[in-house]
């Protein structure tokens, strides 16, 4: 199980990083040169093809990359140097099964070899047998050149991909747009690329059965190019005739070609039950832009190596961690700016209040000079006392009347006593009453609510409730509950 973690972690971090970055450089490395695309928010803004002579004899590629050094970088390998091999590998039994394909690649490939794989079948037996197609390549001069320039210009290197695996995902996407499910077919993917030429890949599910590269005759007529594709595609299908017959498979072609080639090829079926096309709208010799546009839309599994795996994790983790930090710093700056604005606003209000206070004091001082015999402070106290005398003050009898009106529907008052402590100026009311035992809990709750409400209206009274005959039994079930309510005013 532990052997699966590095590869899984690589894919997870790559996925998260994809969501955070929107500025991208995409390098397509072929046998004829390098095509570099610059995308911003999935919109292609600039592209340039660097042939082998340009790469080795000028600084054009270096200058192109330097313009977009704040982007991330992805590399697509599309060359004859890619090896495609098939392996049937038994897995080790037990609860902690190792990934035999990953183990095989780590054991049999050089640490610098870049590889990717797809497990297309697992046969259950005494030991499970994993059938996988493995793609790998040594670090070529062109790959090394791109990696060097990416590092030299401090561009964020993200991942490497193999064209063969990307072509499967792109073909699946194109087929879905045409309401076709490729898993029901054996299918070819035909691409016409400036970096490589004509490439024909035959797939069955996740398995890659054949991969052929042929030169694209750009100096010949379109009809000649069509003949090259037709011949190589026919040869590829012919080599798999026995496999197709044995598995009773239907064939389909997915052709990613220029517009003029599509118009010429549409009249043919190319030994397949179905053929679907994807082409560009302008008159170009190649279909690279269509391929890259789909590359930005599909799910992608990055290739790896022993040397790249640790770099993937470091680079992705570094970007994933620091982008939220930048966001947090921006939020902190905005928060501090808002606090500063609020403090300035409070200072302005305080200054305004102090200014009004000073002006008022000055007016009082000037007025007091006209009336030297009057104490201004005593005059202010007199004004406050007068306002208090004007305010209506509820009397103790207002309290009694309000309380009786609030409770008469749920209690039966028997007696009301009141007394006045003339020495302390305190009133005391005693209400003797009863409530029906039926639904006593509800009635008592209502009475308590009324007492609480009355206390809010008359906060200068303390109200106390006492009950009798609360015990239920067969002999007194219909006997009312006696209550005594005492309300005492509070001396102020």
Buried b or exposed e, range 353-378, using 16+ CB within 10 angstroms = eeeeeeeeeeeeeeeeeeeeeeeeee
Taking CA atoms, 258 is separated from 285, 355, 439, in Å, by: 6, 79, 88
Beta strand pairing call for 72-77 and 23-29? parallel
| Nearest in space to 287 (alpha carbons), one of 264, 255, 252 | 255
CB neighbourhood size of 427 (10 A) = 19
Query: What is the tens place of the pLDDT at every residue in 251-276?
Result: 999 999 999 899 899 888 788 899 99
Residue predicted with more confidence, 393 or 349: 349
Calpha distance 99→8 (Å, rounded): 11
Query: What pLDDT does residue 311 have?
Result: 62
- pLDDT over 80 (residue 220): yes
Phi-psi domain of 204 (left: phi exceeds 0; alpha: psi -120 through 50; beta: other): beta
Contact 121, 101 (CB under 8 A): no
CB neighbourhood size of 438 (10 A) = 10
- Return the bridge partners of 189, or none: 201, 254
Query: What pLDDT does residue 486 have?
Result: 85
The values of phi and psi at residue 297, to 5°, are -105, -20
> Can you tell me whether residue 218 is helix, strand or coil?
coil
Query: What pLDDT does residue 401 have?
Result: 82
319-328, 392-401, 415-424: least confident range: 319-328
Query: What pLDDT does residue 91 have?
Result: 80
Residue predicted with more confidence, 387 or 75: 75
Contact 301, 167 (CB under 8 A): no
- Return the bridge partners of 87, or none: 132
| Nearest in space to 408 (alpha carbons), one of 433, 444, 440, 442 | 433
Query: What pLDDT does residue 20 have?
Result: 52
pLDDT confidence tier of residue 4, bands split at 50, 70 and 90: very low
Query: What is the tens place of the pLDDT at every residue in 380-401?
Result: 666 666 666 655 666 777 878 8
Q: What percent of the chain has pLDDT over 90?
A: 34
Query: What pLDDT does residue 387 have?
Result: 64
- pLDDT over 50 (residue 473): no
pLDDT confidence tier of residue 172, bands split at 50, 70 and 90: very high
Contact 301, 11 (CB under 8 A): yes
Calpha distance 306→135 (Å, rounded): 15
Query: What pLDDT does residue 180 have?
Result: 93
Query: What pLDDT does residue 469 have?
Result: 61
pLDDT confidence tier of residue 71, bands split at 50, 70 and 90: confident
Query: What pLDDT does residue 448 have?
Result: 82
Q: With a threshold of 0.85, does the pTM exceed it?
A: no
- pLDDT over 70 (residue 406): yes
Query: What pLDDT does residue 171 have?
Result: 95
Contact 219, 241 (CB under 8 A): no
- Return the bridge partners of 426, or none: 421
Torsion of CA 445, 449, 450, 456, to 10 degrees: 160
Residue predicted with more confidence, 334 or 437: 334
Kind plus residue range of the DSSP H or E element containing 177:
helix 163-177
pLDDT confidence tier of residue 352, bands split at 50, 70 and 90: confident
94-103, 183-192, 380-389: least confident range: 380-389
| Nearest in space to 256 (alpha carbons), one of 166, 320, 333 | 166
Query: What pLDDT does residue 1 have?
Result: 39
Calpha distance 276→252 (Å, rounded): 8
Residue predicted with more confidence, 95 or 459: 459
116-130, 229-243, 325-339: least confident range: 325-339
Residue 48: DSSP 8-state: E
Distance of CA 180 to the CA centre of its chain: 31
Contact 479, 424 (CB under 8 A): no
- pLDDT over 60 (residue 27): yes
Query: What pLDDT does residue 276 have?
Result: 93
Query: What pLDDT does residue 97 have?
Result: 63
Half-sphere exposure of 81 (CA within 13 A, CB side): 19
Most confident of 20-24, 199-203, 260-264, 371-375: 199-203
Contact 189, 294 (CB under 8 A): no
Mean pLDDT along residues 181-194: 93
Placement of tokens 């009249």 in the chain? 267
Q: Which structure tokens are listed for 445?
A: 């709750």
Residue predicted with more confidence, 426 or 32: 32
**What's the mean pLDDT when you consider all of the chain?**
81
Residue predicted with more confidence, 489 or 182: 182
- pLDDT over 90 (residue 134): yes
* Count of H-run helices and E-run strands, the chain: 14, 17
Query: What pLDDT does residue 386 have?
Result: 64
Q: What percent of the chain has pLDDT over 70?
A: 78
- Return the bridge partners of 89, or none: 130
Residue predicted with more confidence, 413 or 161: 161
Calpha distance 453→357 (Å, rounded): 40
Residue 7: DSSP 8-state: H
Calpha distance 41→24 (Å, rounded): 8
Residue 124: partners with Cβ closer than 8 Å, 6 or more residues away: none
Residue 419: DSSP 8-state: E
Query: What pLDDT does residue 26 have?
Result: 94
Calpha distance 288→11 (Å, rounded): 25
Query: What is the tens place of the pLDDT at every residue in 430-468?
Result: 888 887 766 666 777 777 887 888 878 878 888 887 777
């Amino acid at each position: 199980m532990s052997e699966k973690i590095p590869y899984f972690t690589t894919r997870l971090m790559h996925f998260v990083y994809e969501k955070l970055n929107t500025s991208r450089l995409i390098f397509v490395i072929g046998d004829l040169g390098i095509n570099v695309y610059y995308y911003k928010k999935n919109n292609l803004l600039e592209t340039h093809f660097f042939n082998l002579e340009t790469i080795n004899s000028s600084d054009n590629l270096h200058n192109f990359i330097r313009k977009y050094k704040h982007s991330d970088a992805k590399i697509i390998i599309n060359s004859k140097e890619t090896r495609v091999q098939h392996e049937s590998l038994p897995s080790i039994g037990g609860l902690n099964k190792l990934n035999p394909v990953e183990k095989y690649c780590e054991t049999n490939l050089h640490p610098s070899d870049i590889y990717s794989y797809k497990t297309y079948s697992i046969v259950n037996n005494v030991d499970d047998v994993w059938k996988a197609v493995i793609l790998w390549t040594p670090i070529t001069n062109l790959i090394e050149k791109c990696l060097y320039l990416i590092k030299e210009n401090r561009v964020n290197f993200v991942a490497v991909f193999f064209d063969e695996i990307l072509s499967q995902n792109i073909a699946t996407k194109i087929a879905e747009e045409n309401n076709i499910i490729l898993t029901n077919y054996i299918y070819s993917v035909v691409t016409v690329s400036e970096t490589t030429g004509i490439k024909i890949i035959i797939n069955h599910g996740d398995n890659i059965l054949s991969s052929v590269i042929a030169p694209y005759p750009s100096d010949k007529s379109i009809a000649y190019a069509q003949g090259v594709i037709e011949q190589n595609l026919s040869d590829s299908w012919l080599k798999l005739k026995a496999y197709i017959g044995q598995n009773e498979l239907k064939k389909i072609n997915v052709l990613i070609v220029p517009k003029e080639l599509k118009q010429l090829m549409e009249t043919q079926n190319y030994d397949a039950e179905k053929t679907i096309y994807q082409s560009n709208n302008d008159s170009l010799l190649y279909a690279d832009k269509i391929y890259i546009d789909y590359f930005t839309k599909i799910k992608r599994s990055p290739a790896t190596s022993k040397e790249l795996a640790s770099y993937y994790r470091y680079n992705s983790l570094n970007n994933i961690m620091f982008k939220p930090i930048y966001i947090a710093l921006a939020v902190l700056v905005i928060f501090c700016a808002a606090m500063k604005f609020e403090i300035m606003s409070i200072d302005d209000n305080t200054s305004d209040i102090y200014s009004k206070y000073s002006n008022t004091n000055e007016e009082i001082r000037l007025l007091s000079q006209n009336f030297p015999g009057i104490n201004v402070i005593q005059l202010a106290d007199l004004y406050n006392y007068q306002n208090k005398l004007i305010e209506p003050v509820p009397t103790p009898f207002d309290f009694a009347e309000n309380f009786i009106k609030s409770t008469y529907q749920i209690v039966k008052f028997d007696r009301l006593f009141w007394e006045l402590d003339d020495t302390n100026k305190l009133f005391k009311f005693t209400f003797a009453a009863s409530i029906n035992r039926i639904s006593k809990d509800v009635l008592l709750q209502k009475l308590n609510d009324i007492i609480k409400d009355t206390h809010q209206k008359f906060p200068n009274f303390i109200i106390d409730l006492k009950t009798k005959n609360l015990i239920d039994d067969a002999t007194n079930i219909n006997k009312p509950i006696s209550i005594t309510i005492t309300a005492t005013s509070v001396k102020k």
